[in-house]
Structure 1
Amino acid sequence: MGHNYAKPLTSGQKIERLLTRIPPSWVIKLERLPGTAQWRALAHAPDTDGAWSETHMDPADALEETWRRNRTVVV
């Protein structure tokens, strides 16, 4: 009997996937907090403020959080 073991995406692959989903007109900011290995991100539509993600060890997780948080604002 075969098993389907999905290989998890790397951080780079997750960021590439997210960048194809986030509209090109959106603002994207990704920053590493000084002196730490923590990342936060901001992605929002033009003419909106958007909300920063919480801090994450993986920049892809931070970008995904802000995308999920701010995409509901799009009408």
Structure 2
Amino acid sequence: MGHNYSRPLTPGQKLERLLERIPPSWHIRIERQAGEADWRALAHAPGQEGQWSAPAADPADALEDTWRRNRTLLA
């Protein structure tokens, strides 16, 4: 019996997929404070403030969090 399981995305693949979905006009900022393991990100449309992501162990997870928070602000 064959199975067709999909593999989870690597952090690099996830980051690439997110950057393709976020409009090119949006501002994107990903940062990690010196001495800390967690990342945070901010992505927002021009003229908007936007919300920072929650701290995340991976930059792609942080970017996904801020994208989910701020894409609804456009509506």
TM-score normalised according to structure 2 size = 0.95
Alignment gaps of 5+ in structure 2: none
1:35 alignment partner AA: G
Give the structure 2 partner of residue 66 of structure 1. Answer: 66
**In 1, Cα distance between equivalents of 2:36 and 2:3:** 39
* Residue 43 of structure 2 is aligned to residue 26 of structure 1: no
Q: How many residues are treated as equivalent by the alignment?
A: 75
Q: Secondary structure at the match of 1:23?
A: coil
Deviation of the 1:33 alpha carbon: 2.1
Give the structure 1 partner of residue 10 of structure 2. Answer: 10
Deviation of the 1:25 alpha carbon: 0.4
- Map of 1:30-69 to 2, 5 A cutoff? 30-69=30-69
Instruction: Please identify runs of 4+ aligned residues in structure 1 that moved more than 4 A.
Output: none
**In 1, Cα distance between equivalents of 2:17 and 2:37:** 22
RMSD: 0.8
Q: Percent identity?
A: 68
2:18 alignment partner AA: L
Q: Secondary structure at the match of 1:18?
A: helix
Residue by residue, what CA displacement relative to the aligned partner does 1:21-58 show, whole Å, maximum 9, x if unpaired? 00000000000122011100000000000000000001
